[in-house]
Amino acid sequence: MRAATAGERARWNPFAALAAALDVRAGEWMRRRQGLDELPVTLARRRLYILPTRGGVAFAALLFLMLLAGLNYANSLALFLTFLLAGFALVVMQQCHRNLLGTEVQAAIAPAVFARSTGALQLTLGNSSATARIRLEAALPHLPLVSADLPPRAQQRLELPLPAPARGVVRIERVRLSTAHPFGLFRAWTWVHTPVSMLVYPHPHGALPMPVDNARAAGARSHAGAGADEWVGLRPFRDGDSPRQVDWKAYAREAPLLVKEYVQGASELRMFEFAQLARLDLEARLSQLARWVVDAEVHGERYGLILPGARLAADRGPEHRHRCLAALALFGLEGGLS
């Protein structure tokens, strides 16, 4: 997808520099004019801009030629055709504007991803009107468009690909929403200024064996039986629980949904230490730590992280994994994310 875009952009354009400069200035002006957006935002008339597309400009030139020919020959049919098509273009402009007007931008989030992959800005658009909105396009600056149709009174989530080349934070200041529907003669657009940060975990990489920590970390339960999971009790079902852990027999007896809770044998308790990897450079160390965190989580082990100036107690679960990876992502960077 990105290759195609690059190819399109490679088309020779003598005014590219001018257009880019204009784009930047226009962007700044719009930012000042519109201010920061608090989601959800309904796209109001005041913030929608509309201009003819390249095809629209060509269409206008054609109309001008037609008008000249019609006037020159005092040819009624040619003039009528010109006026009809001019009216058509004006109607199209209104339809294009309408297609975007009143769209709701309900949410914009960017879940964390690993470095050297492509993440996504998840943009939720809503349509409260009785007509469908066709082919709404969303794009991040300098990135390809993503388009979607919004049925009447519906929501639609768009995923805008967002490359994550290196660990840290990718910050998005604004998203461009546009549409050229229905005839591609005009494009209405707006910028939604909503800061979104995408956390980029270090690229999990490294082949060093996972350290085994024999010193029992604080808060970890000690059990003699190695390997076997131990049944702890029942608790109410929460979103994200595996169906395999649900106590279906109890549910069949009209009890509420209950989940059987186990605690794994605590023999696999590992503490990953930054200091242990002194032979590698910084990024390689972080990559190795990330690798271990990911593997340990996959194997259902309990693990902790010891970084210079930070210590994450041993635990497991998605939240813990995220905390560990976030700490690695932001390690040594200014303005870390809490």
Partner 1 sequence: MRPGTAVSAPAAAPLRPLLWTCAAFGGGVLLHADRVPPWAAGIALLLIVWRLLSAHRGGGSPAIAARALLALALVSIVLARFHTLNGLAAGTTLLLLMAGLKLLETRAARDQVVMVAAGLFLLLAACLDRQELARAPLYGLQAWLCCAALAVIATPTTSARAALSLAGRALLLALPLALLLFVFFPRLPGAFWAIPRNDLAMSGLSDTMTPGSIGQLATSYEPAFRVQFLGPLPPARERYWRGPVLHEFDGQGWRSSPRDLRAHVPREYLGTAYHYRVQLEASRQRWWFALDTPVQAPEARARLTYDEQIIGDEPLNDPVSFETVSYTHTRASQPLDIIVQHQDTALPPSGNPRSRALAQSLRARAGSDEALVEAVLVYLRTGGFVYSLEPERLGPDAIDDFLFRTRVGFCGHYASAFVVLMRAAGVPARVVTGYLGGEWIPYGGYLLVRQSEAHAWAEVWLEGRGWTRVDPTAVVAPARLERGILDLLPQQLPVRERLLHASPWLTQLLQRWDAANAWWTNHVVRFDYDAQLGVLERLGIRSPDARYLGSAFMLALCAWLGVVAWHIGRSLHPQRPDALARAYGRLCRKLGRITPRAPHQGPLDFGAALSACRPDVEASVLPLLERYAELRYGPPLAETRAQDIQVFRQAVARLKLPRATGRD
- The residues of the shown chain that bind partner 1, judged by CB under 8 A, are 1, 4-5, 7-8, 54-55, 58-59, 62, 65-66, 68-81, 83-88, 90-92, 94-95, 98, 101-102, 128-131, 134-135, 137-138, 144-148, 153, 156-161, 180-185
Closest approach, Cβ 139 to partner 1, in A, equals: 10
Closest approach, Cβ 102 to partner 1, in A, equals: 5
Report the residue number, 34 or 147, with the smaller CB distance to partner 1: 147
Bin 64: left if φ > 0, else alpha if -120 < ψ < 50, else beta.
alpha
Closest approach, Cβ 83 to partner 1, in A, equals: 4
Residue 334 one-letter amino acid = E
CA distances from 248 to 231, 252, 255, 262, 264 (A): 16, 6, 9, 16, 21
Report the residue number, 192 or 269, with the smaller CB distance to partner 1: 192
Distance of CA 255 to the CA centre of its chain: 40
Report the residue number, 7 or 240, with the smaller CB distance to partner 1: 7
DSSP for residue 224: S
Q: Is the Cα dihedral 318, 319, 324, 326 positive or negative? A: positive
What span, in angstroms and rounded, lies between the C-alpha atoms of 326 and 334? 14
Closest approach, Cβ 336 to partner 1, in A, equals: 31
Both structure tokens of 107: 């949410």
Closest approach, Cβ 147 to partner 1, in A, equals: 5
Cβ(303)–Cβ(266) below 8 Å: no
Report the residue number, 91 or 166, with the smaller CB distance to partner 1: 91
For tokens 């939720």, the residue is 124
Closest approach, Cβ 180 to partner 1, in A, equals: 6
Report the residue number, 177 or 330, with the smaller CB distance to partner 1: 177
Strand partners, 156: 125
What span, in angstroms and rounded, lies between the C-alpha atoms of 188 and 180? 6
What span, in angstroms and rounded, lies between the C-alpha atoms of 277 and 286? 9
Report the residue number, 151 or 317, with the smaller CB distance to partner 1: 151
Which residue in 124, 132, 171 sits closest to 151, CA to CA?
Answer: 132
Both structure tokens of 80: 């009528």
Report the residue number, 99 or 288, with the smaller CB distance to partner 1: 99
Cβ(208)–Cβ(288) below 8 Å: yes
Report the residue number, 81 or 220, with the smaller CB distance to partner 1: 81
Cβ(267)–Cβ(314) below 8 Å: no
Cβ(161)–Cβ(138) below 8 Å: no
Closest approach, Cβ 92 to partner 1, in A, equals: 6
Closest approach, Cβ 65 to partner 1, in A, equals: 8
